[in-house]
Chains A and B, each alone.
Chain A
Amino acid sequence: MKVLVASSEIVPFAKTGGLADVAGALPKALRRIGVEADCVLPLYRCVDRDRFPFAGPGQAILVPLGNREEEGSVEETDAGGGVRAFLVRNDRYFDREFLYGTRDGDYVDNSERFTFFCRAVMEWIARSGRRYDIIHCNDWQTALLPVYVKTLYADREPFRGMGTVFTVHNLGYQGLFWNHDLPMMGLGWELFTPRGLEFYGKINLMKAGMLFADVLSTVSDTYSREIQTPEYGYGLEGVLYERREDLYGIVNGIDDEEWHPATDRWIAANYSADDLSGKAACRRDLISVFGLPKGDEPVLGLIGRLTAQKGFDLVERIGEWLAGQPLRMVFLGAGERKYEEAMEALGRKYPDRIAIRVAYDNALAHKIEAGSDMYLMPSRYEPCGLNQIYSLKYGTVPIVRETGGLADTVTDADENPATGTGFTFRRHEAEELKGAVTRALAAYADRPRWDAIVRRGMALDFSWEASARAYVDLYGKALRKRAPK
């Protein structure tokens, strides 16, 4: 099986969010389990051409764009781990400072840029004679690929029988565009209906991907069900519900090289489930870095964007209560001003209990994951979530809201004494969160039980290989859907 992972951002070439991590890690993991996987992304200005030299001259392509043809080329380089990366080049579109827009807003021609990208990928495949069994597309930027495979290129080799998988990473960005961009995309107006690409008078590319891909996936099983409801569906719950038979959830893997307590280079001492003594050293290190007083009270860690999505409205509301509990709290992150200010005020008020660092700091993030005893993640919604997985890996017991990937990765230790790996709460309410923290503190007091919870979490497999196998299953489903009956 040959797989092409198409994404608008891929580590180590370009990254603005978690999508780049997934798109970077998945092809490598697929290679490790014996699946031939390549990846394709636009050649942005930020791609380091010294680190990733192009293999020979790029392949020139002509890309139809509405009533004109845009020139472009596809460069090839080594993404590491045996993965070939193909970079779609058109400097007018992609040689820019940012990927999608400036700090002030999205680029005005984003629909054209990513239409070009998708169409270029199609033309390049058709022209280069490369045969892929599966194109794995991610989010709206690559959502036109399944549409093209099923419409404009349906009768052309090698697209006949090619399977398409579309993964939704962030439903919040759907790629909504002016309806007059439809001819530019090369699509007929017959597709522009509420049953088609239309979304309240606009073109919705995310919807297009959902409609045309053979198989859909999102980054956790629970999230895949949640988005079929109006509460999480961002208006696309109907489409997702209709395609529920083809909608799957696969939790992302984590980068074992970057995030493993036994090899982590950012933390004070390495440790493993067999020998947790290093974790105590990490805790001491963390406390000193954040300038909190030494003590036995558990440390509660929290990293993330300061937004209501991450549940900071709840944290803000129970801030006073938390300060009164037998614990110390370290926080790292930035985001909405009002939460930043609220958290800073809390830190100022309880300097010996709560430490705040408004910043993004990778080293500090590692220290928090390793040095905390508990990790708080009260997200309003969480498609997958990685920090709770890091926490499990680092023996830091997560306290999470049962939503999306959090629900799929963390098992409540009270409800499932034999398998529990953390503490969960259901409703997005302050009292519920308080209850979960209280139960965690109670468990912490019972050392043998706590150690068992910690070790169970550390034993879980969140490697990318596991996720890759799940994706290979999905590819098989997509191919079976395409196979002539």
Chain B
Amino acid sequence: MEESPHTRFSLLARIVEISNATIQVENRLKHICDFLSRETRSDCVCIYQREVRGEDLAPWVSSCVEIEECTLMDFVVRPGEGVSGKAARKRAPVFFPDVKTNPPAFAVPRELRDFTSILSVPVMDDVYLYGVMNFSTLAPASYTEEDLTFLGSVATEVAGTIRNSRLYNDARKRVSELITLNEIGRAISSTFDVMGTLGYVAKTTLRLLSADACTVRLAVEGRGVLKVALDEGYSRPGFRRELRSVGKELARRIHEEKRPLLINGPEDSPLHSSLAGRGVASFLGLPIVSQGQSLGTISYYSASPRLRFDMEGAHLMQTVCSQLANMIENASILRKAQRLAQENQVKVQRISTLHDVARSLMSTVKMERLLSIMLYALISPGGLNFSRAILFLTSENGNELCARMAMGPRDRQEARRIGRFPRGLLGDGANGAAGEEIRNLLWSDVGNLTIPLFDASCLVAMAVKEKRSVRTESGCGAREGVGDAAPRGGFCGGHPASFAAVPLLVKGEARGAIYVDNLFQGRTIGDEDIQVLTMFASNASLAMENASLYESLESALDTVRTTQDRLVQSEKLMALGEMAARIAHEIKNPLTAIGGFARRIASPRAGGGAHSPERYAQIILKEVQRLERIVNETLYFSREMVPAFRIVNLNVEIREVLSMFREELEEARISSMVDLSPDLPSISADPDQIRQVVWNLVSNAIQAVGGSGILTVATHLSDPAEGIGVVLEVSDTGGGIPHDVVHNIFNPFFTTKAKGTGLGLPIVHAIVEKHGGTIHLDNREGAGVAFSIFLPLLPKGVGTGDRILEQMRKSRVDGNGIKTHSG
């Protein structure tokens, strides 16, 4: 070099100009090399770039004028190696003037293979070495101090150019990362689709980090193991397979330690050699941590020795990972919530299904229909939704299970049709066209389907014997067509591998079993199905028990009705007989009297008769009147008891009746106390019926007393609280009515008497009721009974109240309560 300072100044100006141009840095450096090779008469000017990590110098740009195939760009210079390595290490120019005439004592460096002389100038600013710049010549060269200063300035300018370019690229990369992070953040926060997001994040970060492969592992919930969620990259064949075990090992460590792991050399991890042996130059792994819990890991692999992950990348990815963790956590919460909601819905669905089923089971007590409803509930889509159901009942001797009824589609087509049945079908069992459809589903040929209960291999038999539900996914284990398959009527070979059986328990006794399968649905029968099925079975057992109880109840009821009919018939006959006896008894005395006096009149005894025939005639007349009354009374029973209301004085009627019992009372030595209120007003009543009431009560009392007792008959005004009217009281000392029969006394045909019709008190009851009155019974067991009968002044709702009131205003009641005027 023989330039003047002025020339050097202009050279430097050009270099400054080039290095500040707005073109790519490689272009700029190339032009600087071109320019310098011309101006310094070097045959080759080249720049080696220091690797981002380490001290290696890699060829970058060169300008070779003379050499056709310059080898300077072919190799990487190790630290301290050769002329360039020395210059880099010393941070000072190293000059090798003439290798040809002054061969070195050591091996000729590679840089001098094609050249004679080389000057290596470090490209550095005050802090950092960016590389070296080499000036090589074919001929021996020499440089003055000024030359070296000048070239040092050039190298500093080049360093500045490289630094600026790096800063520029760093800034661009930063912006790129920022935008990408922002995008990732947006993507993560806008969805709960974990796998989709992981895929997007893996793809994006793979590019962002310029990694070659990426694997995301997620912790399996509830277990401490990691599972590969997705792989990205791995374009080299076999790469994934080679990395599987070491990758797993690293992921496990990251997962456990919950710390990122960066491996760029053996000093970072003993696993480095394992990675390097599989072509991995750099590894970065991060845990996805949420609330101190590692949810998974992301691992990045770089195969290129030029690209190593750094802490910056790790920090960047930590940001992404924490976002991911939140997202996974949120998604998991959402999933749990959804699952809970779903479970609840399923439960509600189940309960309402069971409720529907229970209701429909209760809709009938007829066994046949109940069984058909049961089976339909098992196979209906609105019910338990099995494919097919068979109901087995334990045989009489307890040795066999006999199929009672079976229901289900016979083929897929039919199964599909059932799937379309309306849900509400369940409740109204077997009505109309729907009922027809359901009846079609019944299997007509289950009669001979039996399972021996001693058959240990049959799971249905086992369900009954062990009184528990059984479920299988793999058949019952019995081989088809072997041994006792025949007695089962082909059942064993006919069911699918997946089926269930539940026993029907009544009072702890297995009465049968329900068999279900999902032949046409492919849905496996789960534990929850069994739960529902068991609940159903207990419901069904109850319903069946009900139905069978009802059946026996009905037959019992039939018997009762027949007996009752017969009883009524005989009661009637008995009543007739008693009536005849009473009539006979009643008319015997008058007839005797009539006969006697009539005979006296016909053949008067001489001297024997003090009375005249008139007297006898009067007696006969009286007796005839008595006969008439008896006949009338008897007729009363055959008449309908429609009261004919008139103004009646109760006291008068009572006295009349009592006079008829006078003889009887005397015979029985019953003393009677009659206490009739003189203030008693007249009432509106049917006098015949009122007399009937008194007659019946008195007659009852006499019979109750039997002998030597007291009969009390009294009347008084009613308590206003009871209503306006009169009260008749008949009491006796006949020991009262036994407690257990007292409620029956007003029932027809009930009687405690050997010869009673049992119609007495019912008639009393009927008459009092028709008069709008009430009966009060005061029964003192062991003492006696007192009937207290209230009769209103005017029976309610009965005919011509106004007219009766008018009559009552006109009538006048005398002091003795005896009617003085009747209309």
Q: What 11 additional pairs, Cβ within 8 angstroms, besides A109-B22, A189-B204? A: A102-B21, A104-B23, A105-B23, A105-B28, A106-B23, A178-B169, A180-B176, A184-B172, A189-B207, A190-B203, A192-B207
Give B172-203 as 1s and 0s: 1 = Cβ < 8 Å from A's Cβ atoms: 11011111101100000000000000001001
Known: A189-B203, A190-B204, A192-B207. A104 touches B182 (CB 8 A): no
| Chain B residues whose CB sits within 8 angstroms of the CB of A182 once the complex forms | 176, 207
| Chain A residues whose CB sits within 8 angstroms of the CB of B172 once the complex forms | 178, 180-181, 184
Min distance, Cβ A218 to any Cβ of chain B, angstroms = 27
Max chain B CB contacts within 10 Å: which of A102, A105, A109, A179? A105
In angstroms, Cα B173 to Cα A178, docked, is 10
| Chain A residues whose CB sits within 8 angstroms of the CB of B18 once the complex forms | 104
List A residues 157-193 near B (Cβ within 8 Å).
178-184, 188-190, 192
Give B10-28 as 1s and 0s: 1 = Cβ < 8 Å from A's Cβ atoms: 0000000010011111111
Min distance, Cβ B163 to any Cβ of chain A, angstroms = 15
Smallest CB-CB A-B distances: 6 pairs: A105-B27, A183-B179, A105-B23, A180-B176, A189-B204, A189-B207
B183 touches A67 (CB 8 A): no
Give A93-133 as 1s and 0s: 1 = Cβ < 8 Å from B's Cβ atoms: 00010000110111111000000000000000000000000
Min distance, Cβ B312 to any Cβ of chain A, angstroms = 14
Interface flag for B9 (CB, 8 Å): no
In angstroms, Cα B153 to Cα A150, docked, is 51
| Chain B residues whose CB sits within 8 angstroms of the CB of A108 once the complex forms | 22-25, 165, 168
In angstroms, Cα B21 to Cα A102, docked, is 8
In angstroms, Cα B804 to Cα A45, docked, is 132
Interface flag for B30 (CB, 8 Å): yes
| Chain B residues whose CB sits within 8 angstroms of the CB of A188 once the complex forms | 183, 204
| Chain B residues whose CB sits within 8 angstroms of the CB of A107 once the complex forms | 22-24
Min distance, Cβ A44 to any Cβ of chain B, angstroms = 15
B180 touches A183 (CB 8 A): yes
Interface flag for A66 (CB, 8 Å): yes
In angstroms, Cα B176 to Cα A179, docked, is 9
Min distance, Cβ A94 to any Cβ of chain B, angstroms = 13
In angstroms, Cα B173 to Cα A104, docked, is 25
In angstroms, Cα B212 to Cα A194, docked, is 13
Task: Give the dominant DSSP class at A's interface.
Answer: loop
Max chain B CB contacts within 10 Å: which of A67, A104, A184, A194? A104
Which listed residue (A67, A105, A183, A190) contacts B24, Cβ 8 A? A105
B28 touches A180 (CB 8 A): no
B28 touches A104 (CB 8 A): yes
B24 touches A106 (CB 8 A): yes
| Chain A residues whose CB sits within 8 angstroms of the CB of B30 once the complex forms | 105
Give B195-239 as 1s and 0s: 1 = Cβ < 8 Å from A's Cβ atoms: 000001001101110100000000000000000000000010000
How many residues belonging to B are interface residues under a CB distance threshold of 8 Å?
Answer: 32
Query: B residues engaging A (CB < 8 A)?
Result: 18, 21-28, 30-31, 165, 168-169, 172-173, 175-180, 182-183, 200, 203-204, 206-208, 210, 235
B175 touches A67 (CB 8 A): yes
| Chain A residues whose CB sits within 8 angstroms of the CB of B168 once the complex forms | 108
Min distance, Cβ A116 to any Cβ of chain B, angstroms = 14
| Chain B residues whose CB sits within 8 angstroms of the CB of A67 once the complex forms | 175, 178-179, 182
B31 touches A105 (CB 8 A): yes
Min distance, Cβ A181 to any Cβ of chain B, angstroms = 7
| Chain A residues whose CB sits within 8 angstroms of the CB of B28 once the complex forms | 104-105
| Chain B residues whose CB sits within 8 angstroms of the CB of A179 once the complex forms | 207, 210
| Chain A residues whose CB sits within 8 angstroms of the CB of B210 once the complex forms | 179, 201
List A residues 49-84 near B (Cβ within 8 Å).
66-67
| Chain B residues whose CB sits within 8 angstroms of the CB of A180 once the complex forms | 169, 172-173, 176-177
A190 touches B200 (CB 8 A): yes
Min distance, Cβ A108 to any Cβ of chain B, angstroms = 5
Would you mind naming 14 contact pairs between A and B with Cβ atoms under 8 Å apart? A102-B21, A102-B23, A104-B28, A107-B24, A108-B22, A108-B25, A109-B22, A180-B169, A180-B172, A180-B173, A181-B176, A182-B207, A184-B176, A201-B210
Min distance, Cβ A463 to any Cβ of chain B, angstroms = 40
| Chain A residues whose CB sits within 8 angstroms of the CB of B235 once the complex forms | 194
Min distance, Cβ A276 to any Cβ of chain B, angstroms = 49
Min distance, Cβ B738 to any Cβ of chain A, angstroms = 98
Closest to B32 in A: A104
Max chain A CB contacts within 10 Å: which of B24, B25, B180? B24
In angstroms, Cα B490 to Cα A90, docked, is 89
Min distance, Cβ B133 to any Cβ of chain A, angstroms = 18
| Chain A residues whose CB sits within 8 angstroms of the CB of B175 once the complex forms | 66-67, 183-184
| Chain B residues whose CB sits within 8 angstroms of the CB of A184 once the complex forms | 172, 175-176, 179
| Chain A residues whose CB sits within 8 angstroms of the CB of B180 once the complex forms | 183, 189
| Chain B residues whose CB sits within 8 angstroms of the CB of A192 once the complex forms | 207
In angstroms, Cα B180 to Cα A182, docked, is 9
Which listed residue (A101, A183, A190, A194) contacts B23, Cβ 8 A? A101
| Chain B residues whose CB sits within 8 angstroms of the CB of A109 once the complex forms | 22
A183 touches B183 (CB 8 A): yes
Closest to A180 in B: B176
B208 touches A189 (CB 8 A): yes
Max chain B CB contacts within 10 Å: which of A66, A179, A180? A180
In angstroms, Cα B210 to Cα A465, docked, is 49
| Chain A residues whose CB sits within 8 angstroms of the CB of B208 once the complex forms | 189
Max chain A CB contacts within 10 Å: which of B22, B28, B178, B200? B22
Closest to B30 in A: A105
Which listed residue (B31, B177, B200) contacts A104, Cβ 8 A? B31
In angstroms, Cα B210 to Cα A381, docked, is 36
Known: A66-B179, A183-B175, A188-B183. A104 touches B203 (CB 8 A): no
Which listed residue (A104, A181, A190, A201) contacts B21, Cβ 8 A? A104
Closest to A193 in B: B203
Closest to A112 in B: B172
Min distance, Cβ B63 to any Cβ of chain A, angstroms = 12
Min distance, Cβ B324 to any Cβ of chain A, angstroms = 16
| Chain B residues whose CB sits within 8 angstroms of the CB of A190 once the complex forms | 200, 203-204
In angstroms, Cα B18 to Cα A359, docked, is 27
Min distance, Cβ B95 to any Cβ of chain A, angstroms = 29
| Chain A residues whose CB sits within 8 angstroms of the CB of B176 once the complex forms | 66, 180-184
| Chain B residues whose CB sits within 8 angstroms of the CB of A183 once the complex forms | 175-176, 179-180, 183
In angstroms, Cα B204 to Cα A313, docked, is 47
In angstroms, Cα B23 to Cα A102, docked, is 7
Closest to B34 in A: A104
| Chain A residues whose CB sits within 8 angstroms of the CB of B206 once the complex forms | 189
In angstroms, Cα B169 to Cα A108, docked, is 10
Closest to B180 in A: A183
In angstroms, Cα B166 to Cα A108, docked, is 12
In angstroms, Cα B23 to Cα A96, docked, is 12
Min distance, Cβ B309 to any Cβ of chain A, angstroms = 16
Min distance, Cβ B213 to any Cβ of chain A, angstroms = 14
| Chain A residues whose CB sits within 8 angstroms of the CB of B204 once the complex forms | 188-190
Give A410-445 as 1s and 0s: 1 = Cβ < 8 Å from B's Cβ atoms: 000000000000000000000000000000000000
In angstroms, Cα B543 to Cα A16, docked, is 97
Min distance, Cβ A331 to any Cβ of chain B, angstroms = 27
| Chain B residues whose CB sits within 8 angstroms of the CB of A104 once the complex forms | 18, 21, 23, 27-28, 31
In angstroms, Cα B28 to Cα A192, docked, is 29
In angstroms, Cα B209 to Cα A201, docked, is 12
In angstroms, Cα B180 to Cα A183, docked, is 7
In angstroms, Cα B654 to Cα A224, docked, is 138
Closest to A109 in B: B22
| Chain A residues whose CB sits within 8 angstroms of the CB of B22 once the complex forms | 96, 102, 107-109
In angstroms, Cα B27 to Cα A106, docked, is 8
In angstroms, Cα B179 to Cα A79, docked, is 39
List A residues 187-229 near B (Cβ within 8 Å).
188-190, 192, 194, 201
Closest to A192 in B: B207
Closest to B174 in A: A180
In angstroms, Cα B766 to Cα A308, docked, is 138
| Chain B residues whose CB sits within 8 angstroms of the CB of A105 once the complex forms | 21, 23-24, 26-28, 30-31
Min distance, Cβ A65 to any Cβ of chain B, angstroms = 10
Min distance, Cβ A13 to any Cβ of chain B, angstroms = 22
